[in-house]
Structure 1
Amino acid sequence: MANVGRTAGLIGAAVGVLAAGAAAGVAVERAVIGRRSGQRAQLEAEPFGSLRGTPHVFTADDGVELYVEVDELKRSRRPEPEPPKRRLLRKAVEAAPEDLTLIFAHGYGLNMDSWHFERRDLAGIGKMVFYDQRSHGRSGRSPKENVSLEQLGRDLHGIFEEFVPTGPVILIGHSMGGMSIMALAEEHPELFGDRVIGVGLCSTSAGRLDDVSIIFPGWPGRLARRIATPTVAALARIPDVVERGRRAGTDISYVLTRKYSFGSEVPPAFTEFVNEMIAATPISVIADFYPIFALHNRYDYLDALQKVECVVIGGDDDHLTPFSHSEEIVRHVPGAELVEVKNCGHLGLIEHHREFTAALLGMIERAEQSLGPT
């Protein structure tokens, strides 16, 4: 039984990595305790998960409680950014209207803490709203029948109305969070160009994800992606066994995390940070959400994004939402800025956070200018 648990845990870890676009949240094997100690020291040096705002609970239209944090605008207490961003941030802060709000939607298998660097470095531009997507982080578990991108769009709309009743809004989404923004644009295109003045899409796709190869190139990789759905569903039927295996972990899972999250050598703490976020995502949640991405196709609803300043940012080494998907979004949104980050994987918002923040700052500054004098 121990061997079954270990095998299930490894399979669960591998499939979770591929499905979630990060790791499957497994801890690194006890045999590499020395490496974990070094990572822990780096985690303490960069206080991941320490940025907190005012907590709220928002009840979605189906009764699921979503955890929300609001960072109120406190420009006088804004932390000093890193030198390359000081000029851009200063201009954005000076131009920002007092009632500007930024809403951040995170990706599959992650939580709001994945925005750590952006939350730190964009502070002072406006009020910032972060939330854990349903079944993720501190939010309540969604009924399986309500797990859909349409529902994620409705969740975002509800948070929009509850926490930003007036004033201009900028929406920023990573991976599944970007898809949530597209679902909102499908249902409420009237918001874009009116309340929404800017959109940042990070490492995401507007559809055809079934054509993306994983593990192997070409048709074997596409087959592997399709096999992942029933595999995850089968593992979800033995959650206790899988979770025990995930907690045990292996070096292989650590390698998979790095491969499918990052495109360059990153501090080990970055990988550990991702692992710790995903470790809280049960295999049953991975299984509930994975099939919805095959159904995602919103190219016909991207017109709304032409009404706002839009930047699409992707990594050239993203195995999960390849850069070609960013290019395809821009082809459907003429005028959107396309930013390719070199040596960058799916978690570019962590791996190359300086480049991602700079691109978002540029979009925010242009969106502010579209409002005219404040």
Structure 2
Amino acid sequence: MTAAFDSTLAHNAFEAVRPAWTPGDHCVERTVTTSDGVALAVRDYGSDRADAPTVVLLHGLCLSQESWEPQVCQMRRRWGNRIRIISYDHRGHGRSADAPMSTYRIEQLAADLSEVLTALRVTGPLTLAGHSMGGMTALAYFARPASHRPVEPQGLVLVGTAAGGVAERGVSRLLATPATVAVFGLVDRMPRRATENVVSAWLRPVGAALSRCAGNAAVALAADAVRTASLTTATGFLPSLKSYNAYGVLASIAAKTIIVSGGTDVLTPASHSRDMAAAIPDAIHLHHPAAGHMLLQDASDCVGNAIARAMDMFGRSGRAARAGLSRSCAGHLAVIVS
């Protein structure tokens, strides 16, 4: 039975399990149960200060919070418990529970984010960092009514993502075919065994495109994620990705925004990032010609520094801050849009 969400946490179950990676990380693994009963696996790297700057890391489709491991390690080494880091697996991903396919929508992920923020009592300055579908989730959070945003983000980092038109560019144009709706209906209604071969064949071009782009571990991770993701997760979000459009909210975003794109990204080509950078006031766009969709690995240090800059951890502003960010990504082409 589904109960209404209660900000007093009556419907949020917490479970401290074990520290992750090293004891000094002060990581607590929690379970946050959403208002519709989906258990989300959360990692909370706390701070000694209740008002510490907080970053929430949002992963992409068919990935998990583990994809942010390079940035978590970097931030913990650099800032220790001066900041709070929260990551979690979206519904149907990683160690989080599955949910009805009808709930596999970007708007629902933004609602889940709201519940996580409330459940974990986030009060310090908030930065949202999203990769791919995680970036779309962050933008969908900004599109929610103010009364449905428990915390107003002061920083925003968008990595390899888009504000809409996903089915119009790159290999994601596969979403524009009638097969998207057909495959969704097939998986939603038929036994898994009867649909596995059909869906695998439909997703195979995505994995092949990823594999052709580069021969590094990041691409292998992405291709493997596509191959091993559950059918309901891999196909459940497709109609939502096809119809997703957050362009209307971009001009109203007041958060300090840094956008990172890759020149060989076939899933969310850099043109998406250029569009967002032009529409979000004072946004900074960093473009990496040799990086693919897996920028969290391909450009790990730069993504970590972009998060720190969005959180204002360097305590600088204006042109000096932008110049410092460009230097932190030395070796790449940095395109600054203001």
The bucket for the TM-score relative to the shorter chain is 0.7 to 0.9
1:61 corresponds to which of 24, 31, 35? 35
Matching residue of 1:341: 288
1:290 and 2:238 correspond = yes
Matching residue of 1:181: 138
The 1-side partners of 2:60 and 2:73 are apart by: 18
The 2-side partners of 1:189 and 1:261 are apart by: 41
Secondary structure of 1:150's aligned partner: helix
2:273 corresponds to which of 326, 333, 343? 326
Matching residue of 2:326: none
The TM-score, its normalising length taken from structure 2, stands at 0.74
The 2-side partners of 1:332 and 1:367 are apart by: 26
Deviation at 1:162, TM superposition (A): 1.5
Distance 1:191 1:242, change over 3 A: closer
2:165 corresponds to which of 208, 224, 229? 208
1:260 and 2:210 correspond = yes
The 1-side partners of 2:221 and 2:167 are apart by: 28
Matching residue of 1:303: 251
Coordinate RMSD, CA, aligned? 3.4
Deviation at 1:356, TM superposition (A): 2.1
- Asked if structure 1 preserves the Cα contact closer than 8 Å seen for 2:261 and 2:270, the reply is yes
Runs of 4+ more than 6 Å apart: none
The TM-score, its normalising length taken from structure 1, stands at 0.67
Deviation at 1:228, TM superposition (A): 4.4
Deviation at 1:120, TM superposition (A): 0.9
Deviation at 1:350, TM superposition (A): 1.4
1:360 corresponds to which of 304, 307, 331? 307
1:226 corresponds to which of 177, 185, 188? 177
Matching residue of 2:192: 239
The 2-side partners of 1:369 and 1:188 are apart by: 31
1:136-175 alignment, distance < 5 Å: 136-175=93-132
Give a deviation string over 1:289-309, Cα, whole Å, max 9, x none.
11101111111112342x121
- Asked if structure 1 preserves the Cα contact closer than 8 Å seen for 2:263 and 2:287, the reply is yes
1:103 and 2:44 correspond = no
Distance 1:182 1:245, change over 3 A: closer
| Percent pairwise identity | 25
Deviation at 1:240, TM superposition (A): 2.5
Letter in 2 for 1:240: R
The 2-side partners of 1:339 and 1:347 are apart by: 15
The 1-side partners of 2:174 and 2:225 are apart by: 28
1:72 and 2:62 correspond = no
Secondary structure of 1:330's aligned partner: helix
- Asked if structure 2 preserves the Cα contact closer than 8 Å seen for 1:97 and 1:368, the reply is no
The 2-side partners of 1:345 and 1:206 are apart by: 18
Secondary structure of 2:296's aligned partner: helix
Question: Comparing both structures, which one devotes a greater share of its residues to helix?
Answer: 1
Letter in 1 for 2:237: F
The 2-side partners of 1:146 and 1:234 are apart by: 14
Secondary structure of 1:122's aligned partner: helix
Matching residue of 2:298: 351
Secondary structure of 1:297's aligned partner: coil
Letter in 1 for 2:276: I
Deviation at 1:277, TM superposition (A): 4.6
Distance 1:368 1:133, change over 3 A: farther
Gaps of 5+ in 2: 1-19, 318-338
Give a deviation string over 1:4-53, Cα, whole Å, max 9, x none.
xxxxxxxxxxxxxxxxxxxxxxxxxxxxxxxxxxxxxxxxxxxxx95783
Gaps of 5+ in 1: 1-48, 75-95, 215-220
Secondary structure of 1:103's aligned partner: strand
Distance 1:222 1:338, change over 3 A: same
Give a deviation string over 1:150-202, Cα, whole Å, max 9, x none.
1111101111112133211111001111111111101145799x742101011
Matching residue of 1:87: none
Deviation at 1:98, TM superposition (A): 5.6
The 2-side partners of 1:73 and 1:279 are apart by: 37
